[in-house]
C-alpha cells in the first residue's frame, strides 16, 4: 500500500507546511489500513484531531511522573518531537506543579529507533536528585534540585 507524494515539493515547503503535509499523508495511510482491516476509525481520527489542535506539535510526557521519596517533588520526562530533532528533558516540579528545574538529557534525530535508547527508567536517587537511566540501564543523566 502506497501513499504517493512528490518529495521534491516537500523540501520546498516551510516547516509549518511540512508538519501539515506529514500529518495528512499519515492520515491517508492510516485511513487505508483502517478500511482494509475494517477497524473502528474513531481512535485514529481522535489522534489526528489532537495533533491538529496542538498546532501539529507532538510534545508529550513519557510514562508517568514519579514522586520524590519525601513526596515534595515530582519528576517527568518531557519529549519535544520536532521535524529535525527529538529533545528529551528531565523536569522537576514542586507540589503545586510549578517547574523548578529542567535539564536536556539528549537531542537526537526524530526517529524513535534512535532516541528511545535514552528512555529506560526514571528514578529518584535521593529527595533532591532524580535520574533518567538509559534503555540498557548502563548510564544515566541526573537533575539535582
* Domain ranges, residue 30: 7-53
The domain total for the chain is 2
Task: Looking at the structure, tell me whether residues 49 and 76 fall in a common domain.
Answer: no
Question: What is the percent of the chain where pLDDT is above 70?
Answer: 100
Tell me phi and psi for residue 81, to 5 degrees: -100, 100
Nearest one of 32, 52, 51 to 41, comparing CA atoms:
32
Same domain, 48 and 71: no
Task: Tell me: do 85 and 16 sit in the same domain.
Answer: no
pLDDT band at 1 (very low <50, low <70, confident <90, very high): confident
Co-location of 125 and 62 in the same domain: yes
> Is 132 found in the same domain as 113?
yes
Residues 33-89: pLDDT tens digits? 999 999 999 999 999 999 999 999 889 999 999 999 999 999 999 999 999 999 999
Rg from Cα positions in the chain: 19
Amino acid at each position: 500500500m502506497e501513499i504517493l507524494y512528490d518529495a521534491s515539493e516537500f523540501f520546498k515547503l516551510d516547516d509549518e507546511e511540512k508538519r501539515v503535509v506529514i500529518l495528512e499523508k499519515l492520515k491517508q495511510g492510516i485511513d487505508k489500513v483502517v478500511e482494509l482491516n475494517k477497524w473502528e476509525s474513531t481512535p485514529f481520527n481522535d489522534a489526528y484531531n489532537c495533533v491538529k489542535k496542538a498546532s501539529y506539535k507532538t510534545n508529550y510526557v513519557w510514562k508517568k511522573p514519579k514522586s520524590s521519596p519525601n513526596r515534595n517533588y515530582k519528576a517527568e520526562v518531557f519529549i519535544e518531537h520536532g521535524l529535525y530533532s527529538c529533545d528529551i528533558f528531565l523536569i522537576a516540579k514542586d507540589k503545586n506543579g510549578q517547574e523548578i528545574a529542567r535539564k536536556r538529557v539528549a537531542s537526537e534525530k526524530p526517529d524513535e529507533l534512535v532516541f528511545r535508547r535514552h528512555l529506560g527508567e526514571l528514578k529518584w536517587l535521593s529527595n533532591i536528585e532524580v535520574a533518567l537511566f538509559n534503555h540498557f540501564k548502563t548510564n544515566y543523566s541526573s537533575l539535582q534540585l
